[in-house]
Amino acid sequence: MSQEFAIGSKVRVVALPPYVKTADPMPMLRPPDVIHLGEEGIVIDRRPGGYWGIRFAKGTFLLDSQYIESTDTSPESHLEDNS
């Protein structure tokens, strides 16, 4: 039940994983406190294994969709509902 996100969309951290993997060419594991609950980032790409590359203030990290949710709201959809 993997959630899909559009490249360039904003997402918010809803749960912290036991560790965070960097999105470097040689990924490294970091403690989960490099990002915080509620922190927002931008989806930059989709990676193998169900990971999303997300750019945060402290760097770009790989997170599974279970740890993030979309924060983008489409104004076009609200306009269409009122028509």
Cα(37)–Cα(28) distance, integer angstroms: 21
pLDDT of residue 76: 46
Q: What pLDDT does residue 33 have?
A: 92
CA distance to 14, 21, 57, per residue, from 69 (Å): 7, 18, 17
What structural domains and CATH numbers belong to the chain?
A: 9-70 (2.30.30)
pLDDT of residue 72: 74
- 64 burial via Cβ count (<10 Å: 0-12, 13-18, 19+): middle
Residuewise pLDDT in 10s, the chain (83 residues): 467 899 999 999 999 999 999 999 998 999 999 999 999 999 999 998 889 999 999 999 999 999 999 997 654 444 444 54
